[in-house]
Amino acid sequence: MPPAEPEARDRAAQDRVIAFLSSPDAHGGAQAEHIETHLSHIFLAGDSAWKMKKAVRVGFADFSTAGKRRESCAAELELNRRTAPELYLDLVPVTEGPEGLRIGGEGVPVEHLVHMRRFPQDDLLDRVAARGALTEAHVRALADEISALHLSARRIPFAEMPERFATTLSDLTARLEAASEGRPAAAAVARWKDLIAPRGPALCARLDARARRGCVRACHGDLHLGNICLFEGRIRLFDGIEFHPGFSDIDILYDIAFTVMDLLHRGEAAFVPLLMSRYLAATRDYAALDLMAPLVSVRAAVRALVALMSPPSDETEARAGEYLGLAIAACAPTPRAEVIAVGGRSGTGKSTLAAGLARGMHGAVILRSDEIRKRLTGRAPEDRLGPEGYTPEAGAATYRRLFADADRALRAGASVLLDAAFLDPALRARAEALARARALPFTGFWLYADTDTLSRRLEARTADASDADTQVMRRQPADENVPGWRRLDADGGAAAVLSEARALRAEAAREMHHGK
């Protein structure tokens, strides 16, 4: 009999380790749950999770030797401690000595494990979303975590990029065609190729230009909701890709496009404007918003390929069809951009209305003056500012950035919602001029409410980007006359205001369509 190949010998040796790690003896008597993925074995016991790389070699990962597996475990630990230091504890050997196999024993190392802190699986964000418990607070925190990673991540020089996007796209297309041949998905793959191919050269050229400007960074690479969790009340990104730089050393927008695609696939499209608005307020990557739709399309096509590469079944065929449908839909022409401004005294519900309107608008982003003011000082949006943050100079800088970033988003074809007090007529005129300069529709909403109502709302407000209190509100004009802006009585509550605003916006659209 010929000698076994090295990988086969390693797999046989791993069987002993798997049996050991599956037993209570390995975990001080605690029962162990064994989860197997394409590339790993995971063992959950007590308050620990232990991850072991499989002895495999595939096109995008090589764990064929114990040394390579150890290196990969060490790289995984380093990569993921950036975003989840509480979860990623240590690199621990499985050793073999006189007493047999032990985790972290004194014997000879035979495997290495990533030691993680265990958390309830129901705290995975995909499960939170599945039970309808995903909230705006979760999404804001998620945007903050992703933007913090992207802003701090190591930049990958263009000459050192592991893979150009043109290669990513051509390889994906070829593999999809091969995987779908003779299967129900073949027609959808052909349709997607027909839609994405004409956009490919321009898309790849734009991404190459961004790479030269430092937009390719050491990202996460696998930012779907199943790799995001709530740990001790905080959003944490985990399980980033360490084994193939081409999957994680990517454009930052391609990284977050995975999250956007996953929200869309899960029927959570209403959260996408909030995620992107909060993210972009930190990164200011507004000029590239026109890249998001094709990047989301490619991300969906990647997930379709993963489904097609799984063992064939009705379920995998259906899943591939869903992702291909999303990939095709993301190639549809975007609606005409527009400018919506929401103004009024503090406490009238401007931000609530802007968020409500954005939920029904494809590709819209919100620019909120209160948030911009904080970011100009290097503070988090919910941090409170002292008087130095509210000088005339600080106010002027806030509105300069608001209008500059809004213009960049409009140039990229996105609709913008401007959320600010707009108490100064000159600022309202600038908002209208922003739309007029690009021949785009403009709608201004002016919210008003009784002073006592506003006082009650402001006194009850917590953890908000606005620092305005009752005293600030009482110094503001009580009922500004705003020619050309549509007045909304905010006394009736947020739902009524949103309903009326949507009706007025629809009416304005009909008037424009009929040339009135």
Residue 378 belongs to domain with CATH number: 3.40.50.300
| CATH number of the domain where residue 199 is located | 3.90.1200
Asked if residue 223 belongs to a domain, the reply is: yes
Range of the domain at 288: 125-329
Q: Are residues 362 and 414 in the same domain?
A: yes
Yes or no: say if 110 and 101 are a contact pair by the CB < 8 Å rule: yes
Distance CA 370, CA 350 (A): 11
* In the chain, % of residues over pLDDT 70: 97
Decide if pLDDT at 4 tops 50: no
Q: Are residues 105 and 214 in the same domain?
A: no
Long-range contacts of 423-430 (CB under 8 A, 24+ apart): 423/343, 423/345, 423/476, 423/477, 423/480, 427/399, 428/341, 428/343, 428/482, 428/485, 430/399, 430/403
Asked if residue 252 belongs to a domain, the reply is: yes
State residue 478's pLDDT score: 77
State residue 515's pLDDT score: 57
Decide if pLDDT at 6 tops 90: no
Q: Are residues 38 and 80 in the same domain?
A: yes
Decide if pLDDT at 341 tops 60: yes
Distance CA 170, CA 269 (A): 28
Asked if residue 334 belongs to a domain, the reply is: no
Distance CA 420, CA 145 (A): 25
* Burial class of residue 300 (count of CB atoms within 10 Å of its CB; 0-12, 13-18, 19+): buried
The per-residue pLDDT for range 12-29, each reduced to its tens digit, is 789 999 999 999 999 999
**254, containing H or E segment:** helix 252-265
Distance CA 103, CA 272 (A): 43
Q: Please count the residues of the chain.
A: 516
With a CB cutoff of 8 Å and minimum separation 6, the contacts of 81 are 88
Asked if residue 241 belongs to a domain, the reply is: yes
Q: How many domains does the chain have?
A: 3
Distance CA 184, CA 196 (A): 20
Average pLDDT in the 436-448 region? Answer: 95
Q: Are residues 17 and 139 in the same domain?
A: no
Average pLDDT in the 81-101 region? Answer: 95
Average pLDDT in the 154-177 region? Answer: 95
Asked if residue 360 belongs to a domain, the reply is: yes
Asked if residue 1 belongs to a domain, the reply is: no
- Domain end position, chosen among 85, 118, 151: 118
| Residue 312 pLDDT grade (very low, low, confident, very high; cuts 50, 70, 90) | confident
Q: Are residues 505 and 404 in the same domain?
A: yes
* In the chain, % of residues over pLDDT 90: 81
| Residue 61 pLDDT grade (very low, low, confident, very high; cuts 50, 70, 90) | confident
Q: Are residues 324 and 379 in the same domain?
A: no
Q: Give the closest residue to 174 by CA, choosing from 50, 330, 301.
A: 301
Q: Are residues 67 and 179 in the same domain?
A: no
Asked if residue 410 belongs to a domain, the reply is: yes
State residue 2's pLDDT score: 44
The per-residue pLDDT for range 229-262, each reduced to its tens digit, is 999 999 999 999 998 888 999 999 999 999 999 9
pTM: 0.93
| CATH number of the domain where residue 96 is located | 3.30.200
State residue 453's pLDDT score: 87
The per-residue pLDDT for range 170-209, each reduced to its tens digit, is 999 999 999 999 999 999 999 999 999 999 999 999 999 9
Q: Is 405 left (phi over 0), alpha (psi -120 to 50) or beta?
A: alpha
| Residue 297 pLDDT grade (very low, low, confident, very high; cuts 50, 70, 90) | very high
Q: Are residues 164 and 292 in the same domain?
A: yes
The per-residue pLDDT for range 132-153, each reduced to its tens digit, is 999 999 999 999 999 999 999 9
Which sign does the torsion angle of CA 260, 263, 265, 267 carry?
A: negative
Q: Are residues 65 and 134 in the same domain?
A: no
Grouping H, G, I as helix, E, B as strand and the rest as coil, residue 49 is strand
Q: Are residues 178 and 54 in the same domain?
A: no
Q: Are residues 424 and 359 in the same domain?
A: yes
- Domain end position, chosen among 101, 118, 135: 118
Task: For Cα atoms 267, 137, 148, give the angle at the middle one, nearest 5 degrees.
Answer: 100
- Domain end position, chosen among 288, 304, 329: 329
H helix runs in 153-216, sequence order: 165-180, 186-196, 200-212
Q: Are residues 99 and 132 in the same domain?
A: no
